[in-house]
Amino acid sequence: MVSINWCCKQKGGIKVIEASDNLAESYIKMAEDALGTMNREKEYNIIFAISACYYSMYYSLYAVLRKIGIKCEIHSCSIEFMEKFLDDFYNKNDINLTKKAFDARNISQYYAEKVVGKKDSELIIGKAPFFVSKSKEILAKLNQEDIKRIITKLEEDINNQKKFKGKKESKNANRSLV
């Protein structure tokens, strides 16, 4: 995967912005629409069903991010943010499920010569509604104190990375003088 530090440096990467309940609601609606598409397509077009499955999960995660005040256009960075900063809300199974859905969507959309296994597709399609429901629960209970704690943790992580990089560069500069 990617690192938070890398994600924060990318155009379209992780940015702290103004939180938006309206955008969070819009993304939840998109997640629900994607679930509908997934359910309609799962018997007829598994590629579309897998894609819709992933997007139902991603949109519901992104709703949480927007409520917190995080904007990110790089999916792998959004998932990394979930793993690193939303671990009080999503557990390891949720994170692994999201990663599995992300991989399955990539395979089904971009690699015609590969096939997502039936076991994997059934797993993610079966669990996607629960993931969306969990994201809705998170949105309902997420408060300003939680949001402040998450943003502070992100800022501390970024600052620690800068300090570490500065020490590493300083150490390397001292070596070149010898």
Q: Answer whether residue 162 is part of any domain.
A: no
170 domain-assigned: no
The pTM (predicted TM-score) of the whole model is: 0.89
- Copy the structure tokens of residue 95: 């994170």
28: domain CATH number? 1.20.120.330
Here the tokens at position 94 are 């949720």
Q: Total domain count for the chain?
A: 1
The predicted structure's pLDDT at residue 178? 43
DSSP states along 66-122: HHHTEE---HHHHHHHHHHH-TTTS-HHHHHHHHHHHHHHHHHHH-TT----HHHHH
- Domain of 100 in residue numbering reads as 9-143
Residue 99 in domain: yes
Please list the pLDDT of the chain residue by residue as tens digits (178 residues).
788 999 999 999 999 999 999 999 999 999 999 999 999 999 999 999 999 999 999 999 999 999 999 999 999 999 999 999 999 999 999 999 999 999 999 998 888 888 888 899 999 999 999 999 999 999 999 999 999 999 999 999 888 876 655 555 445 444 444 4
